[in-house]
Chain A
Amino acid sequence: MAVLLALSAAAPAAAQAPFVDVAAASGLDFVHFNGMTGEKYILEVTGSGAALLDYDNDGDLDAYLVQGQLARPGARPDEAVFPFAGPWPPGDRLYRNDSVAGAGDSIEPRFVDVTEASGIVATGYGMGVVAGDYDNDGQVDLYVTNFGSNQLLRNRGDGTFEDVTEAAGADDRRWTVPAAFVDYDRDGWLDLFIGNYVDFTFSRHVACSLPSGAPDYCSPLAYRPVPDRLLRNRGDGRFEDVTRRAGIDAAFGNALGVVTADFNEDGWIDIYVANDMMANQMWINQRDGTFVDEGVIGGSALNEEGQPQASMGVVVGDVDADGDLDLFMTHLQGETNTLYLSDGAGGFTDETRRSGLGHASWTATAFGTGWVDLENDGWLDLIIANGAVSAIEALARAGDVYPLHQPNQLFRNLGGARFEEVTASAGELFELSEVSRGIALGDVDNDGDLDALLSNNSGPARLLVNQRGQDAGWLGLRLLTGAAGRDALGARVVVERSAGPALERRVQVDGSFASSHDPRVLAGLGDGSATAVRLTWPDGGRRLWRAPAPGRYAVWTSGPAGGGR
């Protein structure tokens, strides 16, 4: 579905572009199949996501890509508008990174499709994925969200996975898009938040059309929202549904995004849910196993006008380097993407208008997104994956068979909460017009800057390798907790620098859209150096450390000793 727009002679040279796509060169040959057969089912345009994770603990990032299916029950493969190229049936794919040595400590990614060898059979209509070590065995597991039953895939540690969904009590048969592993009760076990979208079923399919009468995809408001769920990890391989007990059933919407973080800085992880065309929820952890939605009162549920927006992707980060966690979320064409700046106590202010992010997003429908410090100067830049959800009339009239594609966007942080769009100078990758959805961020080549795995609906996945960040100083940390060494999701890192404000970073895999990121922490140091690192572990324990050596990843573990590994 790729359409190269405006290939002009004046396009910047590849070396100047911030990213280069190495998907094909590295063996990442995934192509998403949306299974559309002409009826315009809403699920066809929704997925899907991707994950970057080190499932084999060999120090480089592997990739998991979520696949679609034939949408209509009973449809034949040859009825698909865009045929599936691979062996039938389509399914999610796991790519192992058999990287080779690159310059310095860096590596060059080389991906091998190991799906069959891994034992993973994920042939549902896929939406998203999140990675986390739910059984604390030091092997990262996967939770795959689908239209229909979800799947919990347990990593056996020998390169294979087993589907333990039923045994673990982790299923949800409704339409789930986002999910997050989060130790909300600080018992050392990762719990699971499941974000559900709408109650679409094929028998409830609503036919919508363009003014010309041609069929088109419906808004989610044609359906009803489905409640989200919170599953508590009992520590014995099973989850229990605590949705009601935890108060999570008190509010819900059409969930498409979720991030977990300690938004009010009380030491307990909160949960933020981004809903499509409905008010978002900010579930503030009450520290007793329950949550209260403080989205509206806290100013993060509705935009500056007091209106709900079509929230799709959501990311959290300290955009203005003031030591607290801000929120950014992506929206529908005709709305702005929205930046909420935190006051550090659970209160937010919509600063979109002043940020430079609003007007530039008016003409695109955005999904996946992520903070990427492009130049490792310490300021978080922004990448946004775009792709419409209903036909763009001009494309439709031009005869485009899938008229949803739009170019992605890149914004540079000018130092604080002010951005400028740099898409036009970001090279050929940002001239492509595709139906992009998920973005998973991670340092795929271990060179100290963030790369991006981009999933496209009905199109090829792209692996955007950062070409700029490695030239500046950086500090990398992998934070582990527990006896077997599980990534300490939710741990907070504050990097004190010799010059410039301290950098607030987190061990965070959730966020973006239906995707899962590299759990390692990266902090760009620019021309300066790191002087100290303040750590807050998910259980509330705090440590102050001398900064590790820059330019390489250090591995730290929690506990009294707390030293390197």
Chain B
Amino acid sequence: MSRQAALALVVGACLAAPAAGAGLEITPILRPSLDGFEPPVAALLTERLERLEELLASPEATAERAAAELGRLGKLYLVYSLPEAAESCFVNAARLAPGEFEWTYLLGTVRQERRDLEGARSALLAARELAPVAPAVGLRLAQLEFELGDLGAAEELYLKALEAPGFAAAASYGLGRIAAARGDLPLAIERFERALADQPEASQVRYQLGIALRRTGDLERAREQLADRGSGQLSFPDPVLEGLGEGAPGVEVYLSAGRVARTHGDFETAIAAFRKAVEAQPDEPDHRAVLGATLLESGRVEESVAVYRETLARHPGDAAALYNLALGLVELGEVEEAKAHLQRLVELVPDHVDGRVNLATLCEQSGDLARAEALLAEAIALDPYQPGLRVHRASVLTSIGRAAEARRDLRAVLDEDPGNAEALVVLGAANEALGSPGDALAAWQAVLELGAGAETEARARFFLGRSYLQRGQPAAAVDHLRAAAAVLPDSSQLRLLLAGALGAVRDFDGAVAQYSAVLERDPADENASFGKAISLLLAGREAEARAHLERSLEAAPASLPLRHLLARLLATAVEPSVRDGARALELAREVFERAQTLTHAETLAMAHAELGQFDAALEWQGRIIELARAGGQSARLPELEARRTQFERREPVRAPWREGH
């Protein structure tokens, strides 16, 4: 429980009031219990209280000095969320120094906070007598009049406040609420919009604006505003209250400052404040929790992880820290350590469903599918009401060869909820794995007919595309995969499949674009590099292919397929400027030494031919033919013989990748 929520007071534990020497009349001042306060705070409050008692007992106490001391103590009580005690101080301070604006004003504000609306109004009216031009007083009075139902009085006060620098937003908001209460919705909307224009961060206004728009029937704009509503508060200059807690010690002060700053998106201030709270109470895990969460929210994942590590060093069994640390580590790519923490979590808190599910997901991603399945089964036993868990487990079951079991579970899920599109997607995969491609297609098609969510539909289209491609229907595959890629643009697996399908329909430029998109996300993706190079060649863009391969080899110099493809390109390009027979031969030799395959030998022969070394080319070609014959590749013999004839005619090879396309 927060200290704010438990305003600790001992009613009746009061200071002995009259200070005989000075004849000052003091009404009882509440002495709050300081149990549970941090020692520096308790010491400060005790010291101030004793000082006040001493002063009041002194015959030399004057009303002014007593008021000042009471007011200072009251402000401290306010800082430490003890408004009732603060009020008892301000009541006396205001009476002892009736000409002092600050105490009367603070009395009004603290009563406003305590919902003593009449009392607050009385004090603020008195404060206004003392400082007629203080706009904060007028604004607070306006708020009170509104709460008390006197819309006319509230309106008059808000209109006055409207002109004061820094008050326009709060006053406009107040005027908007008055207009809304009177049913003048166009005016209310205008006022709320003005408040937002003045303080765009005050997202609280959007709720009122949204409701007013809804009441006018403008549902579209209403929904927009309501979707953007938030907890951003309107602010106005209030010199008496600003800086009240500055310099005051105490975790509550730090936490409060941190929370306010976080609400306003000022993460730096929030983090600094929460760090102070941690320094003041290093053994309190909650302070680290809020610091860690704020760091994570502000994108400072490493620091967040460090905070949670420190929590665990002090409290090894802190479940929240284990969980949050794991999440941070996943963001940092430290999957194994994240798994270890989640494992510890589920051991400590056996019914932690999310811990199990996240651990299962990480196990699945790292290929430990059996463990993932077991964890998901345990999670389902703990919470059988999440069909998503059952679908997730079925997906894993399918991957580990238990598709029949998966299909049974999925059918049970679909019995309960025939519209469960995720279940249909996985059911399709299970059917495919069980050798029922027709049923698989039907399941995925059903997802499209359901009008499921875009991502679910995209997953169904991925499977449909893959299935059509496997069936030799690349055009149909392209349609589904294109639609899926529009929804899941970051899926490399999907783009690679789409690129393959585009190649199959001879849209090589389209394929190049898909491979390029994959490489943008991961320049080291060898499959995409190779696919792009081939597609460029098939599109006749040989110079681009060479440049691409050179760049790719800089990133992955050990890649055999890329070196081999470059060798062949340099040996056989149609464009003379692309060819480089000497380098082709050098690369081809290197590749052949690393892997003595028929294909590599063919490239070697082609490189010799490009350099005019047709005897060497013929010698290699003869060995290739013998190897093909010995290796049972008789189907290739006509092609290989034709190339030998070509070499005998002393003709080099050009663009062999076009053969068969």
Contacts and interface: CB of A to CB of B under 8 A. Distances in A.
Interface of A: 172-174, 199, 201, 203-204, 208-213, 216, 218-219, 227, 229, 240-245, 296-299, 302, 305-306, 334, 343, 347, 349, 353-354, 359, 362, 390-391, 393-394, 397
Nearest to A350: B211
B385 A204 contact: no
A390 B214 contact: no
Interface stretch (B63-71, B348-356, B557-565): B348-356
Given A296-B226, A299-B211, A394-B11, A211 B36 contact: yes
A458 B229 CA distance: 41
Contacts of B11: 394
A221 B123 CA distance: 36
B1 A204 contact: no
B419 interface: yes
A196 to B, nearest CB: 9
B226 A297 contact: yes
Contact of A245 (B10, B33, B418): B418
4 tightest Cβ-Cβ pairs between the two chains A and B: A306-B207, A211-B36, A212-B35, A212-B36
Interface string B583-596: 00000000000000
B547 to A, nearest CB: 51
Contacts of B418: 245
B9 A173 contact: no
- Assign chain B's interface to a size class: 35 or more
A198 B69 CA distance: 47
Contacts of A394: 9-11
Nearest to A348: B211
B420 interface: yes
Contacts of B630: none
A284 B224 CA distance: 20
A244 B10 CA distance: 52
Contacts of A243: 385, 417
Contacts of B551: none
B149 to A, nearest CB: 6
B416 A240 contact: yes
Contacts of A174: 383, 385
B414 to A, nearest CB: 10
Nearest to A391: B6
Contacts of A172: 385
5 contacts: A210-B8, A212-B8, A297-B222, A354-B149, A397-B33
B147 interface: yes
| Most A C-beta atoms less than 10 A away, residue of B5, B208, B226 | B5
Interface in B324-382: 349-353
A445 to B, nearest CB: 39
Interface of A is mostly: loop
Interface string B144-171: 0001010000000000000000000000
B10 A229 contact: no
B384 interface: yes
Given A203-B349, A203-B351, A245 B417 contact: yes
B3 interface: yes
A201 B1 CA distance: 19
Nearest to A240: B416
Interface of B is mostly: loop
Contact of A390 (B6, B149, B353): B6
A306 B208 contact: yes
Nearest to B354: A224
B216 to A, nearest CB: 11
A203 B350 CA distance: 8
Contacts of A390: 1, 5-6
A354 B180 CA distance: 13
Contacts of B206: 306
A203 B319 CA distance: 10
Contacts of A343: 215
B497 interface: no
A296 B418 CA distance: 29
B138 interface: no
A393 B214 contact: no
Nearest to A215: B1
Contact of A397 (B10, B204, B350, B352): B10
Nearest to B349: A203
B319 A204 contact: yes
Contact of B1 (A218, A240, A298): A218
Given A354-B181, A391-B6, 19 more contacts: A174-B385, A199-B353, A203-B349, A203-B350, A203-B351, A204-B352, A209-B36, A210-B1, A227-B386, A241-B385, A243-B417, A244-B387, A299-B211, A305-B204, A354-B149, A362-B115, A390-B1, A393-B7, A397-B10
A359 B211 contact: no
B638 to A, nearest CB: 60
A557 to B, nearest CB: 35
A208 B2 CA distance: 9
A213 B36 contact: yes
Nearest to A229: B385
A273 B350 CA distance: 31
B37 interface: yes
B424 to A, nearest CB: 13
B452 to A, nearest CB: 12
A261 B353 CA distance: 35
Contacts of A218: 1
B293 interface: no
B267 to A, nearest CB: 22
B37 A211 contact: yes
B117 interface: yes
